Chains A and B, each alone.
Chain A
């Protein structure tokens, strides 16, 4: 069986890159200031990630957290699509208040981060525990500064809303063309992965 490993990468204030390997060990790679001026996306294309190579990205993208799946054959479908979805979603962070002429508020980086963290953590958990992979969603502007995560598949849809306030619950609704549906809510402090299993590949 093909091994699937999901890793996280964070860049903290000391500008060190921390890499945690989900299954075997934790490690740290220090790159210092070089990481600020050179491409920031690092990929472990195979198990030998102690010598990561630069593949894409620039300082403008500058996400504080990355994740990747490492398989013997390289990156996963999910990560490729996910990075593209996050890139597209980041455009909404440049919108000012009243971006629609109807008084809608701007979008905060923290809200988008909560959305991406939920997705990555959830996919990581499902991959590790159940060998389940998930379709790549679109990450979209929602009401009142919230973020929508939308899966539009050929036989079903799922819409999951990450609120702008951490005090409000995440809400989701999914519907199959054949008629079945799923609906619920949860707080990000105790995430429910049921909506993700509903859109598994």
Chain B
């Protein structure tokens, strides 16, 4: 299939799924009601929804669906970036400490009871972004010192620092046992408490990261040939790595600030995308984004409907449903991709 067709089809599917997602939930809303509600927004028609349904649609469900798309897309894009950077099919958005950094930031914010907000972002979201960027910076600072195989030393530094940061988080949770539930809820990942402000911030961070990584796609292609080959093609490796890490971190921060830590999407979305559009990053990155969004949106739909009226943490659903699907792909099409090794 031509990459352009894949991208258009997956984006079309995403839009259709998003509209379908608006209908399902604790209170079903008819498609007709949704159309009339959007018509009313544009001044075309009268809204056919009651005030409760209107509030649910406009204040809860629509921001949630959009956040799910943005978070999934962010994770897919960041995953594609990191897998390209490390030339390793196991890399995911959290591989160099972004998730543990975010968890540390949020844990500190919750323990200190920070309540302030900035640009509509809650203290927790800001702490998540600051934490993940700081930890990634430390990892990068340590990992970039090694001269020879910088991607590998970056990976190792990431693993080591992540473990340390996770230990600090556990220690803080141990000392503050009355806050454990809140911290855990955040670490498990949830899209429930997102407002329009969160949508805006996530969108800004996502677009920023997408632009950075998109502009690096040709360099990522060259880099996949190996350090020596890419350097001989004129790639300045140090600056390139910094730019990729910065782009991926911003994108990861977008996801983390809105939804906490959601695993697996960032790992499998690039693999699925690679099996569909090949290994050229100019197609791979946007396709990973739309596939990531599809995965997370469908997982969230399951999470908020299957145990109605309760909800499940969405991270559980992504792993439970995503994993068998991924294994099936792995078996039938050898997804892992040839550009990664």
Q: Do these two chains really belong together in a complex? A: no
